[in-house]
Structures are given as structure tokens and as C-alpha cells.
Amino acid sequence: MNKALIKLIIAAVSFVLLSLTVVQVYWVKNAISVEHTNFEDKVNEAIPNVIYKLEKARAQRNLAEIINSQSRMANFINSMDSINNILYNELVRIEEPEDIEQLIRNSFMASEVLKKLVGNKKPFGTEKLLDKKLLDSLLVAELRNKGIQAKFVYGVYSTARNKMLIDNSGKYGAKLLKDSFVFTLYPNETNRNPDYLMIYFPWEIRYLMKQMASIIFISIILIIIILMIFIYVIRVIVWQRRLSEMKNDFINNMTHEIKTPISTISLACEALFDKEIKKNHLLSENYLNVINDENKRLDGIAERILRAATLDSGDFILNMTKVDVHQIIDHVINTIGIHVEVKDGKIIKDYRAKNATVKADRIHLTSVISNLIDNANKYSPKKPEIKIITENVAGGVLITIRDKGIGINKENQKKIFDKLYRVPTGNIHNVKGFGLGLSYVKAIMERHGGKVRVESEFKNGSRFSVYLPFSDD
């Protein structure tokens, strides 16, 4: 799959994802708008019921006042008759100036009594007449009847006096005047400057969002699922492309690796058919040795590929025995050391571990050490200097293989343990391999309960550390 096609797929999927997200957001926004309209309708239905019940309570109170007034008027009339009779009798009996003064005093006293009977109270304003507890309880009850549990504040505004007569809004005074629901308090009264009941919901949006929590949650989950699928698809596409590149690289390397020994064997076989060479016993034996060596090389290539396949299937079983790590390293050095010496290099051993005995599979552990030392040699172009250090750490043995080769940059360090991955070297085939070695090392270490770690700096060498735990028994 080429880069242009991958970019096209990513662009198409991104467009679809963005479109679905926009549709979801638009749908949620419309749903909130509908919910807001329903909320307003419910408030507009609930508050008139409150005002009707307030008017009804006021009418009952006015009726009681009228009855009381009529009773007081009857008492007033009776009192007037009695006072008139008393004053008249006193007026008839006036004989001295003192009697006139007494009459005046009695007149003032009678006037005070009449005032008390008639009443001289000024009419109270709305803030005195309106029962605040009743208003509060009616608002709560009617809003709950409509299914509204949101917190609210309210106030009563007088247009005649241009001020709030009742205000329980606290810090929401400005919002109450600007963004509230407004209703005429007593709409059936003929008043040019009526009072208004104002209701404001400070957390209306939060309340609406809470009411729609399930819808919003489902929408968010759907968007997240789509996004995760998108990311997964992109990762699969990128991985497939990368796998394809690694496969091609593997095939090219394998072809190159196999072609060389096959060509060598072919040339040696042709030479052996030559009659002159047949007569030369030493030369014939030399060609046979070449064929044998190249055959072993082919066998080694096949073995590495089969070993990688076995690791994938998980069918291999470790033959765990007690082994001496130092002995295994010495054995590997004896085998590989000649390849290092050919490049005028050297291997330095630094055995610091006092206890180097672990429980491991001898064959696989030997292959692990061999892979790491072979890599250190291959990636050190000039005079390899490989240092092998062993030391005891908590619960096991740490083997460190350090070289002064070309090193590995940070980006490639994350991938070197992936199967078939090789650090790019262009089209140069002087570093041979299939990208199977380090993935094999990691898999074997994990099966042993150990781990492998790399520290490297580009052009400044690499340091591979292998940890093997001691056996429990």
C-alpha cells in the first residue's frame, strides 16, 4: 500500500469522523434547544397558577376586611348615638364656664374614641400585604408539579415606585431584572402601574444539561468509540504498510543471504567436475570444505527462520537446568571471537558476578549471548571493541555487552525488539541479518522471567543489558 493511498484513506476517514462529530453536536444542540423551550413552557404554565392562587388568597382577605369594616361601622353608628346623647345632655346642663371646658374635653375624648372605632390606618403596599411564605411555597409546589426541580430566585418589582419591593435573589439581582421570567402580579386589578413577579433560574443551563445527561453521555461515548475505531484503523493501516516494508526487506535480505552460499556451492560443484581438479586431491578437498561450510551456513539461516516461527506459535519448551553464565559466555567467545579478530578487534571480559549460576535453557541462552555479541561485532565497522560485564544484582545476574559501534538513535531504539525490524542502513548489505535476532532475545528473556534493555547513542556505541533471575530452588 503506497503512501498516497494511505493519505487518501486517512483524509476520507477523518472527513467522515468530523462530519459525524458535527452531526452529533448539532443534534445535541437542537435537543438542548427543544428542552429549553419545554422548560419555558412549563414555567409559563406554572407561574400563572401561582398568581391565581395569590389573587384568590387576596380576595378572601379583602372579603374578611369588608365584613370587619361593616361590623365596625355598626359599632360606630351605635357609639355616635350614645356620644351625641351624652354631649347633648351636658350642653343642656351648662350653667358655669367650667361646664363649657368640661364639654370641650369630653368632645376631644369622644373624637379619639370615634377614630379608634373607624380606624385611621393608611393602606399598606404590596411588600406588606403579600405573604412571602405563601408565595415561596406556591412557587416551589407549582414548579414541582410541572417537573421542574431547578433552584430559582424571585422578586416583586413596582413600576409605580421603580424599585424591587421583594427580592430574595441575593447576588443575582441584576440577572433577575434582565434575564428573568416576568408576570403581572395581580392581572385582574385595574392598575395603570402594576407590580410584576419575576423568576430567575441561575443554573438553568446546568439543569437542562443534567436532564439530558443520558443523551449527551451516549453521544460522547459514540464519538469516542468512532474516534477509537478511527485510530485503530489508521494504526492497522500504518502497521500493515510497515509490515509490508519489513517483509520486503526480509525477503531481500534472505534472498541475498541464501544466494551467496548457493552461488558458492554451485561454483564449487562445477569446479569438482573439472578433470584437472579431480586429480588434485588437496584442491578437491578444499572445494568440498567450502561446500560443507556454505551448507552449514544455509542450515543456520533455516534454523534462525524456523526458530522465529516456533517462538510465534509458542510450541517450544525450555529445558531448564542450572548453568554457569560465565561458561556460556566463554563458549560463545571461542566461537565468535575469530570473526572479531579478523576485523582486528578484541573482546574484553569483566566477570564481577561472584555467583553466576542460574536456571536456564542452555541452548537458548547460548543463542541469546551469541546474538548480542554478533550484533556488537557487525555494527562496529572498524576494530570492534566489545566489553562483556557480569555482576550480581538483586535476585539475579546482569550481563552487559557494550560496544563502540555505530549506535542506535532514540527513534529506532523503540522498534529494535520488533520482529523483522532492522535499523535502516540504506541499500548496503554489509550488515547481514533478517531482523529476527533481537526479537528472539526479548522473547527468550521473557520466557526465563528476565528482561533485556538497550542504552545507545547514535555514533557512540550501544549497551545491551540482560537480566537473568536466580532459580527459586
Which CATH class name applies to 317-469? alpha beta
Give the tens place of pLDDT for each residue, 55-89: 787 777 766 766 776 666 666 666 666 666 665 56
Examine the pLDDT at 429 and tell me if it is beyond 50. no
If you average pLDDT over residues 296-316, what whole number do you get?
68
Cβ atoms of residues 398 and 472 within 8 Å: no
Please give, one letter per residue, the 3-state secondary structure of the chain: CCHHHHHHHHHHHHHHHHHHHHHHHHHHHHHHHHHHHHHHHHHHHHHHHHHHHHHHHHHHHHHHHHHHHHHHHHHHHHHHHHHHHHHHHHHHCCCCHHHHHHHHHHHHHHHHHHHHHHCCCCCCCHHHHCCHHHHHHHHHHHHHHCCCCCCCEEEEEECCCCEEEEECCHHHHHHHHHCCEEEECCCCCCCCCCEEEEEECCCHHHHHHHHCHHHHHHHHHHHHHHHHHHHHHHHHHHHHHHHHHHHHHHHHHHHHHHHHHHHHHHHHHHHHCCHHHHHCHHHHHHHHHHHHHHHHHHHHHHHHHHHHHHHHHCCCCCCEEEEEHHHHHHHHHHHHHHHHHHCCCEEEEEECCCCCEEEEEHHHHHHHHHHHHHHHHHCCCCCCEEEEEEEEECCEEEEEEECCCCCCCHHHHCCCCCCCCCCCCCCCCCCCCCCCHHHHHHHHHHHCCCEEEEEECCCCCEEEEEEEECCCC
Lowest mean pLDDT among 97-111, 201-215, 224-238: 97-111
Q: What is the mean pLDDT of the chain?
A: 78
If you average pLDDT over residues 443-469, what whole number do you get?
88
Residue with more model confidence, 437 or 463: 463
Under the banding of pLDDT at 50, 70 and 90, the label for residue 473 is: low
Cβ atoms of residues 146 and 48 within 8 Å: no
Give the tens place of pLDDT for each residue, 189-205: 766 788 888 988 888 88
Residue with more model confidence, 200 or 434: 200
According to the model, what pLDDT value does residue 428 have? 40
CA distance 99 to 104: 9
- Percentage of the chain beyond pLDDT 70 is 75
Cβ atoms of residues 400 and 463 within 8 Å: yes
According to the model, what pLDDT value does residue 17 have? 79
Give CA separation, 31 vs 200, 212, 219, 226, in Å.
22, 8, 12, 21
According to the model, what pLDDT value does residue 10 have? 77
Give the tens place of pLDDT for each residue, 325-372: 999 999 888 878 877 888 888 999 999 999 989 999 888 888 888 888
Residue ranges covered by each domain of the chain: 3-209, 242-310, 317-469
Examine the pLDDT at 122 and tell me if it is beyond 50. no
The CATH number fitting domain 242-310, selected from 1.10.287, 3.40.50, 1.10.10, 1.10.3470: 1.10.287
